[in-house]
Amino acid sequence: MNTRPLLLPLHTPTSLLDFRAAHIFRLPFLSERWVNRDANYNQEYTNDPFHRFSLCEYAQVHTNILFEEETQHHPGHHGAYPGACPLSTQGTQSYDLILVGTGFSSTFFLKKFLSKAGPSKRILVLERGGIESLRWKIANRSAMQPHGVVSEIKYQDTYINETPQKQWVFNVGFGGGSNVWWGCTPRFMPNDFKLRSTYGVGTDWPIGYSELEEYYEEAEKIMLIAGSDSTTPFPKRSPYPQPAHKFNAVDKLLERENPGLYFPLPAARARIASDKRSRCCASGVCNLCPVDAKFTIENSLNDLYRNTQVELITNAQVLSLDLAQGLASKIFFKKDGRILDAKGEIFVLGANPIFNSEIMLRSGDTHPMLGRFLSEQRSISVRLQLSNLANYQGSTSITGHGYMLYEGSHRKDRAACLIENWNVPRLQMKRGKYTHTAELKFIFEELPELQSQVKIDRDSAPLPTLRSTDPSDYLIRSRDYVRNNIEHILRGIPIEKLHSISQLSPTEGHILGTHRMSSLPHDGVVDSNCTHHSYRNLFLLGGGCFPTTAPANPTLTIAALALRACERGTR
């Protein structure tokens, strides 16, 4: 596909913030790495020849760098990675470990396994999608699917949604959700793991915060999380790998008004450039980060799939497992129209909660909790007109986390809420006031419902069917509390006008539940190590293990659980 560089308007302002304000569109590839925004700018970039370019000159050069040649990449092509091997032609092969998926859970499990395994271990990884590089995604962004997904496989064509008002979003392809996530990485709060015993609602996890803390720390180091060293809302033993991102004006006011309850948002969007990732440019298009600043499997952990012990097969849809002997013994998958199989000692399902459940259901697993409690958080967004306050000075797209409505006795009656402050301008055509706006997001936990589920029809429908229940009264009461008390909650901010309060979001892009963990086999599908209660050589990873849905983003917890599962479950 031939592409042409984007030409900018003449008289381009020399400040990135002024540029975004003066022109309604934003350049997604403009980075602080090449634009001197303030007097305290990091001097490490002063020797960069781009540093002396105007924005117009920079955009012309950098766009040519991104798209200087016709895209040669074909999604799913095995040659993209040395470890992406063609299928063996020697019949059924045997492996020490077989993983399904290449997203967060599978890849973090693989990283831990390789650190422990001897050189003789053979590993097979089956990925339903292809290898679609960031370069390919940017070149094909005109074909973007709903909620920012760019992939050859249309995720909405992979399931049947009986309740389409509740949407479910994911990315099919190498790297899974890391390709489309925004990189928000808070830990869960200690009480999120003991909701029933503390507040009398929901259920308790079979593990607590203290049992996961070391794996939180390990995951944060792998992803080079940027966060505050001085204060966090949750217990933390060691500093974040990178310093926190800069607050904007609204963050500073909320922190001053709510001491001990407002913090820099921990982010997998780099504050400092590394050898694998650029520094975040606060472009606000994090689903397809144009400067490769956010952590992805592709930019940070693809070396795992180059390991000679690992055989990666892409465009391979897993169909089922052989569970006949009380253990998983064989996996069946479809590749290029052929049904193939492989034998293994340890099996790991890390597709997503929908497909993990579908695979198990098609394998004949009859656990009554399998496929149940499909859930995720919901949110509303609040837009404000500010009175004589310029905003958006932060160094990343989402800068602050408010915990004013998270913990407390109110959780007995209404859902915990986590507040995000967005640093992505919604500009207005008012001279001198174009940045005098703010947008905050209020994210609510949900109580998973038994009737919200993933189902299959073995006789007719080839796709899994999803059914969702309406938002719980528990969540609705929290939403109504925010709507009715918004000015009190945001006291300290000079609000000139409340622009809007949105309806509940149709999705947060987080799929949770369907194979929840539990202490007792009849209460859940997997144990505290994410091992199936009945098939002890089979792990089901990811958000499907969650018994509850805290308002905090789940990805860091998913990664930590995968590290813990491998550490404890493969001894």
Q: What is the Cα–Cα distance from 63 to 31, expressed in whole angstroms?
A: 13
Q: How far apart are CA 443 and CA 381, in angstroms?
A: 9
pLDDT given for residue 61 in this prediction: 31
Q: Is residue 58 part of a domain?
A: yes
CA distance 357 to 361: 6
Q: Would you say residue 51 has pLDDT above 60?
A: no
Arithmetic mean of pLDDT, 157-166: 97
Q: What is the pLDDT of residues 426-450, one digit of tens each?
A: 777 878 788 999 999 999 999 999 9
Whether 57 is covered by a domain: the verdict is: yes
Q: Which of 17, 20, 2, 21 has its CA nearest to residue 430?
A: 21
pLDDT band for position 90 (50/70/90)? low
* Residue 110 CB partners (closer than 8 Å, separation 6+): 97, 99, 123, 125, 304, 310
Q: Which domain holds residue 47?
A: 16-67
Residue 169: band (very low, low, confident or very high) from pLDDT cuts 50, 70, 90: very high
Domain presence at residue 36: yes
Contact, 392 vs 425, CB < 8 A?
Answer: yes
Task: State residue 349 phi and psi, 5-degree precision.
Answer: -95, 115
Q: What tens digit of pLDDT does each residue of 306-358 get?
A: 999 999 999 999 999 999 989 999 999 999 999 999 999 999 999 999 999 99
How far, in Å, CA of 362 to CA of 359, rounded? 5
What DSSP assignment string belongs to 89-101?
A: SSSSEEEEEEEE-
Q: Which residues pair with 267 in a beta bridge?
A: 184, 226
The predicted pLDDT at position 66 comes to 34
What is the helix (H) or strand (E) element at residue 386, kind and residue range? strand 378-386
Residue 160 lies inside a defined structural domain of this protein: no
The count of residues in the chain is 571
Contacts of 120 (CB under 8 A, 6+ apart): none
User: How much is the pLDDT for 71?
Assistant: 35
Q: Does 426 map to a domain?
A: no
pLDDT exceeds cutoff 70 at 145: yes
> What is the per-residue pLDDT across 185-211, written as a single tens digit (0 to 9) for each?
999 999 999 999 999 999 999 999 999
Q: Is the pLDDT of residue 46 over 80?
A: no
If you average pLDDT over residues 394-423, what whole number do you get?
A: 98
Which residue, 341, 285, 335, is CA-closest to 314?
A: 335
DSSP code string of 232-274: -SS--SS--SBPPPPP-HHHHHHHHHSTTTEEEPPBSB-SS--
For the beta carbon of residue 404, count every other beta carbon within 10 angstroms. 17
User: Could you give the C-alpha distances from 209 to 185, 190, 194, 429, in angstroms and in order?
Assistant: 15, 5, 9, 48
- Residue 19 pLDDT exceeds 50: no
Tokens 């949110």: give the residue. Answer: 379
> What is the percent of the chain with per-residue pLDDT over 70, rounded to a whole number?
84
pLDDT of amino acid 438: 97
Q: How many domains does the chain have?
A: 1
* pLDDT over threshold 60, residue 60: no
Q: Looking at residue 424, what is its pLDDT?
A: 93
- Tell me whether residue 61 is in a domain: yes
For position 432, what pLDDT does the model report? 79
| Domain membership flag for residue 24 | yes
SS (H, E, C) 143-159: HCEHHHECCCCCHHHCC
Q: How confident is the model at residue 273 (pLDDT cuts 50, 70, 90)?
A: very high
- Quick count: other Cβ atoms within 10 Å of Cβ 501? 14
Query: What is the DSSP annotation of 176-238?
Result: GGGGT---B-PPPPGGGGBHHHHHSSS-B-SS-HHHHHHHHHHHHHHHT-B--SS--SS--SS
The Cα–Cα gap between 247 and 265 comes to 9
Q: What is the pLDDT of residues 452-496, one digit of tens each?
A: 999 998 776 799 999 999 999 999 999 999 999 999 999 999 999
Assign 91 a pLDDT band (cuts: 50, 70, 90): confident
The CA distance from 83 to 122, in Å, is 12
Query: Both tokens of residue 192?
Result: 């999120």
87 vs 6: which has the higher pLDDT? 87
**pLDDT on residue 460:** 67
Q: Is the pLDDT of residue 226 over 80?
A: yes
Candidates 561, 555, 449; CA nearest to 508 is: 555
* Mean pLDDT of the residues in the chain: 87
Q: What is the mean pLDDT of residues 504-513?
A: 97
Supply the pLDDT for residue 79.
34
Q: Is the pLDDT of residue 113 over 70?
A: yes
Q: Is residue 370 included in any domain, yes or no?
A: no
Structure tokens at 258: 């709510």
The β-bridge partners of 467 are 453
